[in-house]
Every structure is written in C-alpha cells, then in structure tokens.
Amino acid sequence: MKKIIKILCVLLTLAIGGCSAPSAQEKPKDSPEKPKKLSVVATIFPQYDFARQITGGLADVHMLLPPGAETHSFEPTPQDIIKIQNCDVFVYVGGDSDAWVERILASIDTSKMKVVTLMSLVDTVEEVAVEGMQEEEEEEEEGDAPEYDEHVWTSPKNAAEIVKELVGIISEKDPSNEETYRANADKYLAQLAELDETFKDIVSNSELHTLVFGDRFPFRYFADEYKLDYFAAFPGCSTEIEANPVTIGFLIRKVNEEKIPAVFHIELSNEKIANAICESTGARLLLFNSAHNLSKSDFDGGATYLDIMKQNAETLKIALEYKGSAE
C-alpha cells in the first residue's frame, strides 16, 4: 500500500506539473473569467451530503468513494489524489479506516486547503464490544492507542454539530456566498432537529428498547443518543463477515428471550447472519442503514442522509413495537 501511494504521488506530481503550465500560457490575459466554484471533496457519503446541503449547488462537491463500494477497504486512484490536491475543503472521517488519507495528506501540499475530520467536530467514544459480540482477532500490543468509534454521523445530534462547524469552514473559504450557505445550513439544521424529535418520540412511545443486529454495529452514537440497548454480531468497523456459531446462538437466544420482533442488517451487507437469526426465530429481517455509502441507483436518484434516516425511523418503529405518538 505504501508503495502504491508513493507511485501515485509521483504520478500526481507529473500530472500537476505536466498540465498546469501550458494551460496558464494559453489563457488570453484579458478574458473575463468566471469565478471558480469552491471545490469540496468528501471521502464518504455523510459529509458529502452535509456539504451538498450547505452549498446547495454553489460549490462543486465530490465524493471519492464510488457509490456501492465498501467503505472500509477503499483505495484511492491517482485521479482521487489529484482531486484532493486541487480542492479547497477536504472532509474525511478521521478514524482507523482513513489511514490511507493521512498518508496522502502527508505527501501533498495542503497549505491552501482546509482539511477537516468529522471526528474532530464532535465528542467521540471508544469502540467497544458488548456481550455476545465477536471481536476481531488482533494482537493487542501494550501501549496501543484506543480505537475510537468513527461512525459519529449516525446520531442526528452529531450530524447537526458537524453541519454547524462545516458551514463556518466552507464560508471561510468562500465568503462571497456565506449568506446563502448560512441560510441553507439553518434550514437543514431545522430538519435535523425534526428528525431528532422523531427518534425521541419513537423511543419514548415504544414497548421495547433493544436492537439486535445480525451484522456489524456502526450505531454506537445513535444508540447512546436515544438510550437504546443493542446486541450485534460484530463491532462497527469489523472486517469479519463470517460469524461463529456461538455468536449466532447468542443472538438467537436474545431474540427469543426478549421477544424481539425484528433483526437488522446494515446496507450493502450479504445479510447472511441476520437471515439465519430470522429463520431460526421467526423475527422479521429489516434494514437499518448507517449511510456509509449508497447503492448506485440510490445515489443517482439523489437520496440524502435525511431520506435514509427517515427510513430508519420507520423500521425502528417495527423493531421497537412503537405504540404511536402520545400527543
């Protein structure tokens, strides 16, 4: 991987050096130039969508991760590195899955861009394994830094915090459009607040408060925010996909004991474990979408973080046996 990055960086230097010089000469000196749009590059979907909501078409917002791709094994292309090099604002998550980002940033000139991580904008918690969860077999070395859970955006409250900070950062880089950016952000923050109220209402008017995931669990921030208990096959960013029989057996027992009506899988999952639990218990198989990435068709259809979370609210009602709003 290090080698690949090195080669990519050489290519990048060639690409930038190779094409910028002649184009500068070709440009007639007095041509009325359109002001260049602000360029925002985001690694994955949540921050891509937040930047899109704030800028509302006034900036070029680009997502590096191809729609439908797995987030945790992403490898940038030379074009991706050029996009990062040339952008004004670069937003990534800042967790363990982003080790590749740090290596690229260390090798390019970032003096003219604003680089920001989602994890620096909110309070983070350590990734923990709850009872029954199958942890990755990693050799823990003494002095290992604690692994912080990177799925900060899964809580709408955190999403709002991130948007509040992002609008300031984007406005600083493009002050001429600040007023519009701030107005867009305010409108969006109102929708996020409404979403938060929806989840609060569901949780406070439901019989159950336990989620079961036959999958990875990237919802620590969401569960903490709404005080939900959870059981899952793997922690949030685990690369494991095959659960052992002990894990599956534990989750089946939980579903039976607590009479859980629905078992979740996450997006772009093979659904195998959740399916096995449902077959054995009669529970319903439902999607709870963590919005790491979208399928190609959802992306092309313009789906947003809010769309995804509103769908999550509907499936949550089923899983928690929502009784309806008291008001």
Q: Please report, as ranges, the residues that interact with Zn ion according to CB under 5 A.
A: 218, 237
Strands (E), the chain: 38-42, 59-63, 89-92, 114-117, 210-217, 229-235, 262-265, 284-287
CA atoms within 13 Å, Cβ hemisphere of 137: 4
> Which amino acid appears at position 128 of this protein?
V
Give the residue at shortest CB distance from Zn ion: 237
CB of 151 to Zn ion, least distance (A): 6
CB of 283 to Zn ion, least distance (A): 25
Q: At what angle do helices 45-55 and 305-319 cross, to 10 degrees?
A: 120
Question: Could you tell me whether strands 229-235 and 210-217 are parallel, antiparallel, or unpaired per DSSP bridges?
Answer: parallel
CB of 44 to Zn ion, least distance (A): 9
CB of 16 to Zn ion, least distance (A): 31
Residue that is written with structure tokens 């409250």 in the block: 157
Residues 286, 274: contact at Cβ < 8 Å? no
CB of 90 to Zn ion, least distance (A): 19
Nearer to Zn ion, 122 or 237 (CB): 237
Task: Compute the radius of gyration of the chain from its Cα atoms.
Answer: 22
